[in-house]
Structure 1
Amino acid sequence: MSDPVFVAFATQKGGAGKSTLTTLVASYLYYVEGVEVAAMDCDSTQHSLNVYREHDLLVTKENPFLKRAMRRFYEKFRKRPYKILLVHPSEAYKVAQQHIDEGNTPAVVFFDITGTINDRATVNLIANMDYVFVPITTETGEMASSITFANHVNNRMITTGETHIKGLRLIWNKIRTREKTRLCEIIDRYIAKLGLDSLDTVLVKSDKFEKDGHEIGNSGVFRSTLLPPDKRLLKGSNLPELVAEIRKIINV
């Protein structure tokens, strides 16, 4: 078996969607495509992935519709939910290696990282990634922050050849159409001059990305650490296309 691929979704500024992207991609790979994964929740100030997991456990226990859906799914899936490990950035790489050494065999280990460029532990962790994906939105502050962060990682880390990073891509997120807008295309031309690139696939701005279940009702879930996204909600989301593009890049 080949070594696991270490993948980080990282940004400097909250709101761009790194934790949501980590959950969506990890869950789609694991629950839909059968790829073994593990997730490292390295955002020690919020631990968003763990918050998602606790919420998912609550709603699938309290909501009869989701409880039945979960039971039916796991009767066929016959595996446990993927592991989410809560770690400080300074310990994340070591804990991930220990998880693998204990006999676990993830093809991909996802790291949900707050990408501050002023924290040594976080910088060292990013340097140990194989691939870094940076969410970017068209909101001015978030856009500038994502570009600054990606440019820093590229110039200070990747181009030096002193890190493990094989590739960095930005991901357009919360876009109002399924295709890149004119603003996205203008920014793509700008970041190309910086030596950066974005994925072809964009994720649309939609309420479905916040659908994580409630304690009542019979609506399906889209973002879940315990279940695959409801097939009815996948239409128009570009999530399958995004996962396919990421898989091609990381060769999994």
Structure 2
Amino acid sequence: MSDPIYVAFATQKGGVGKSTLTALVASYLYYVEGIEVAAVDCDSTQHSLNVYREHDLMVTKENPYLKRVCHKFYSQFKQKPYEILLTSPADAIAVTDNFLKAGNTPQVIFFDITGTINDHDIVNLIANMDYLFVPITTETGEMASSISFANNVKNKMMATRVTNVKEMHLVWNKINTREKSRLCEIIDDYIEKMGLDSLDTVLVKSNKFEKDGRETGNVGLFRSTMLPPDKRLLKGSNLEELVSEIRNIIKV
């Protein structure tokens, strides 16, 4: 068994969707495409992935419709939900090593990382990644923060070869159309001059990303750590295309 691939969705500013992207991509790979994954929630201030998992457990227990959906899915899937490990940036690699030594064999491990490039523990954690994906939105402050973060990783880490990172790409998130907007194209031209690039696929802005389940009703799940996205909500999201592009980059 080859070593797992370490992938992180990382930024230094909240609100750009790194935890949502981690959950969406990990769940699609695992529940739809059969790729063994695990997730490491390194955001010790709020542990968003764990919050998602606890919410998933609650709604699939309390909502009769989602309970039936969950039962039907797992009767066919015949595997447990993927593991979400809770840790701090300082302990993330050691916790992951112990998880692997216990006999777990994921092909891809996703790390949900937040913080600043000036934090020693986060720098060390980023240095252990194989691939980095930096969410970016068209909101001015979030955009500037993501570009600054990616530029610092490139110049302070990748350029000096003090990291395992093979590739880093920005990911346009919360875009109003399925294609890159004119503003995205302008920023892409700007960051190209900095030696950075973004993925071809954008993730569409939609209220479907808030479809994470309720205690009542027949609304399917889109963002879930326990189930694949509802096919009715998947249409038009660009999630399938995004996962395909990421798979091509990380080679799984």
* Matches for 1:147-166 after TM superposition, within 5 Å: 147-166=147-166
Query: What is the CA deviation profile of residues 24-65 of structure 1, one whole-angstrom value per residue up to 9, with x for unaligned ones?
Result: 000000000000000000001110000000000000000000
Unaligned runs of at least 5 residues, structure 2: none
Q: Aligned ranges for residues 1-252 of structure 1 at < 5 Å?
A: 1-252=1-252
Instruction: Give CA-to-partner distance per residue, 1:164-190, whole Å, 9 cap, x none.
Output: 000100000000000000000000000
Matches of 2:248 and 2:95, distance apart in 1: 27
Letter of the structure 2 residue corresponding to residue 154 of structure 1: K
Structure 1 gaps of 5+ residues are: none
In 1, Cα distance between equivalents of 2:53 and 2:230? 17
Runs of 4+ in 1 over 6 A off after TM superposition: none
In structure 1, distance between residues paired with 2:101 and 2:191: 39
Distance in 2 (CA, whole Å) between partners of 1:211 and 1:154 is 35
Shift of 1:117: 1.5
Q: Distance in 1 between matches of 2:132 and 2:97?
A: 18
The alignment's TM-score, normalised by the length of structure 2, stands at 0.99
Q: Which 10-residue stretch deviates more, 117-126 or 129-138?
A: 117-126
Q: Is the 8 A contact 1:18 1:135 kept in 2?
A: yes
Q: What do residues 149-174 of structure 1 show as CA deviations (whole Å, max 9, x unaligned)?
A: 00000110011112100010000000
The percent identity for this pair of structures is 74
What is the root-mean-square deviation of aligned Cα atoms in Å?
A: 0.6
Letter in 2 for 1:88: S
Question: How much does 1:118 deviate?
Answer: 2.1
- Which one-letter code corresponds to 1:92 in the other structure? A
CA positional deviation for 1:4? 0.4
The structural deviation recorded for 1:97 is: 1.4
Query: Once the 2 structures are TM-superposed, how far is the Cα of residue 223 of structure 1 from its aligned partner?
Result: 0.1
**Deviation of the 1:11 alpha carbon:** 0.6
8 Å CA contact retained: 1:115, 1:149:
no
Alpha carbons 1:4, 1:105 under 8 Å: kept: yes
| CA shift for structure 1 position 115 | 3.2
